[in-house]
Structures are given as C-alpha cells and as structure tokens.
Amino acid sequence: MKEAMFYKKLENQDVECFLCAHHCLISKGRRGICGVRENKEGVLYSLVYGKLVSMNIDPIEKKPLFHFYPGSTSFSISTVGCNFRCKHCQNYDISQYPRRHHGIIPGENVTPETVVAAAEKAGCKSISYTYTEPTIFFEFAYECSRLAKARGIKNIFVSNGYTGPEAAKTIGPFLDGNNIDLKGDDEFYKKICGARLQPVLDTIKLMKELGVWIEITTLIIPTYNDSEKTINGIIDFILSVDPAIPWHVTQFYPTYELLDLPRTPVETLRWARETGLKRGIKYVYTGNVPGEGGENTYCLKCGELLIERSGYRITQNRIKEGRCFKCATIIDGVWG
C-alpha cells in the first residue's frame, strides 16, 4: 500500500478523496467508488500501487492515437479498478474486479523503474496507462511518468476524463498524450456509467490548456447515444475546444451487461464521420471496422492520402516533418 495523493482528513477519521470528480467521502475501513482506495484509520491508501495485472507492447494506433508518433509502439500497463461502472466495458474483468470479487486486489508487484526499463528495452516510444482508468492508479502512473520523461519516453493516458483538476495539473508536465472518451450526453453518463458529463468536458479543456495532445473517442451504441442530437452535441463541444482534435467514432459490439444490442451499423459510423467533417472537425476516424476506409489521414488542403491504415497497421505514411509531402500543409499532431 502507498498513502494516496489528493485527499483531505475530516472529523471522525473520515476522509474526502478528490483524485477524481466523484469526490468520495470515505469513512474508516471503507473504499471509494473505484474500489482501490481505502481509508485505514483516517489515512487514505492506494491499494494498487505497483500491482499490475497487465503489461503489453501495443501499437499506438490501438489507444487509439492516430496523430501521435504513428507506427510506434507503446508499453501499456494497468491495475484493477475503475471509477466508472460502464455497462458496456470491454475490460470489465479487470476494471470491475474488486467489486465483483469481494474487494480482492490481484496483481504482480512491479516498481516504476522496472516499467520504464522494460519500455526502454523494448524500444517503445511511449508508456500508456490504459485498459482501466489510469486516474485510479495515479500514484504509480505519476512516478512512472516522471522517470520516463527523464529518459525521453513519452507518457499517455487512455482515460474516461474523470481526472480531478489538481491531479491533471500535477501530471500535466509529464503527460504527452491523452485519448479521452466522450461517451454521450449527461443522461447517458448517469444511466450507463454512473457518472456525469460536465467533469469530462472540463478535463478535456484543461488537458488541452496544459499542452497535452488530445484525441477523443466516442463508442457509438445503438439506441443509447446514436441520435442526431447527441452526436451533434459532441461535435459542438469538440469544435468549441479545437477543431484539430482528432475524433474517433467506433463500433460497439455486445459485451458485459449490454448483450442484447446489435453491433453499431457501419452506416451509422459513416454518417457520424461525415457529419463531423462537414461541420468542421479536421480529422474524424471510424474504429473497430478495419478496411472500411475511415481510418486514413488525408491532407486538409489537397486531399492527398497521407497515412493509410488497416486496423492497427500502417501500410504507408507520407507525412514529412509534420507536413503533407505534396503541398506542405501542416498536419496537426505529434510526429517526432
């Protein structure tokens, strides 16, 4: 265990955690919504510090980040636990593990030095804190990110966007990229995730202000967040922050507690992508449908194909020093 960051002590050995937007009030002997931060005698502890359940080498495109060192690999780590309870979570076996297994915290004991050394040895350009919500293992991610930054390795969050502002500002100087889910409207967040929309919007804006490269993902679920009103609301928000933020609209498939729904029709993804592009978002991609054609990056000015993708694989990359190889138009992103 490690004493948690971002909490304050209250009367009667209660504590308030402000690591994320839930601001859990936690009495002695109890845990927060995430299931991995526990109040022991008035001191809040992280139960997952260094207890990794997943360490993999992934293509950066899997995060998905399409405008951040394309074709590179990212050393990807995770603990159990999450501050959301999404009914469609594809990683529910680890995100909801403490809740589903009587509070048990599994994992291999690993140090930040071990993680960074492994990423370096594997030739990974970055370390991704992913699979579950990285905010809930913040203390470990923070120490890893500081070491990685010193060795020239980039740091990436793949996040639900519920990071508290104090935590975001603390890790901001060490965080290079963040793919944040923007899942739907406020009703969707309350009904499907056990959360609210506004903190996610606030985090996206704050991360942008902190200079972190942002990409946004929306998993489109039939009948839940596929209405014109919801999709256009998401587009409105992205345009208000920065039309150069890449937006990934991805296909839902039945999983966890949403097994009675069909996969998202490809036509819906095409419509969302075309709507985003027509309304002014510069880069919109379709996900979970390899070969559909919505994965490629094109020049905004001359229309030339710049990066051709098939799933997580890049078949060609013709961006030269952050510009179109043909007309030299600047292409937004982190290209190295």
pTM value > 0.85: yes
Both 105 and 215 in a single domain? yes
* Per-residue confidence band for 284, with pLDDT thresholds at 50, 70 and 90: very high
pLDDT higher than threshold 90 for residue 336: no
Over the chain, what is the mean pLDDT? 97
pLDDT single digits (tens) 212-229: 999 999 999 999 999 999
pLDDT higher than threshold 90 for residue 1: no
Both 121 and 148 in a single domain? yes
Mean pLDDT value of segment 141-151 = 98
The number of distinct structural domains making up the chain is 3
What pLDDT does residue 291 have?
A: 84
Both 183 and 35 in a single domain? no
Percent of the chain with pLDDT over 70: 100
pLDDT higher than threshold 90 for residue 168: yes
Both 12 and 123 in a single domain? no
Lowest mean pLDDT among 12-16, 159-163, 246-250, 289-293: 289-293
Both 231 and 257 in a single domain? yes
pLDDT single digits (tens) 114-136: 999 999 999 999 999 999 999 99
Mean pLDDT value of segment 58-70 = 98
Range of the domain at 60: 51-295
Both 181 and 313 in a single domain? no
Both 36 and 72 in a single domain? no
Mean pLDDT value of segment 91-96 = 97
Bond prior to 64 in cis (omega within 30° of 0): yes
Both 291 and 168 in a single domain? yes
Both 19 and 156 in a single domain? no
What pLDDT does residue 62 have?
A: 97
Both 98 and 71 in a single domain? yes
Which long-range contacts (C-beta less than 8 Å, at least 24 apart) are formed by 145-148?
145/171, 145/174, 145/175, 146/174, 147/112, 147/113, 147/116, 148/116, 148/119, 148/174
* Per-residue confidence band for 293, with pLDDT thresholds at 50, 70 and 90: confident
Both 123 and 141 in a single domain? yes
SS3 letters for the chain?
CEECCCEEECHHHCEEECCECCCCEECCCCECCCCCEEEECCEEEECCCCEECEEEEEEHHHCCCCCECCCCEEEEEECCCCCCCCCCCCCHHHHCHHHHCCCCCCCEECCHHHHHHHHHHCCCCEEEECCCCHHHHHHHHHHHHHHHHHCCCEEEEEECCCECHHHHHHHHHHCCEEEEECCCCHHHHHHHHCCCCHHHHHHHHHHHHCCCEEEEEEEECCCCCCCHHHHHHHHHHHHHHCCCCCEEEEECCCECCECCCCCCCHHHHHHHHHHHHHHCCCCEEEECCCCCCCCCEECCCCCCEEEEEECCEEEEECEECCEECCCCCECCCECC
Both 269 and 124 in a single domain? yes
What pLDDT does residue 292 have?
A: 84
pLDDT higher than threshold 90 for residue 11: yes
Q: 141: closest CA among 31, 36, 218, 245? A: 36
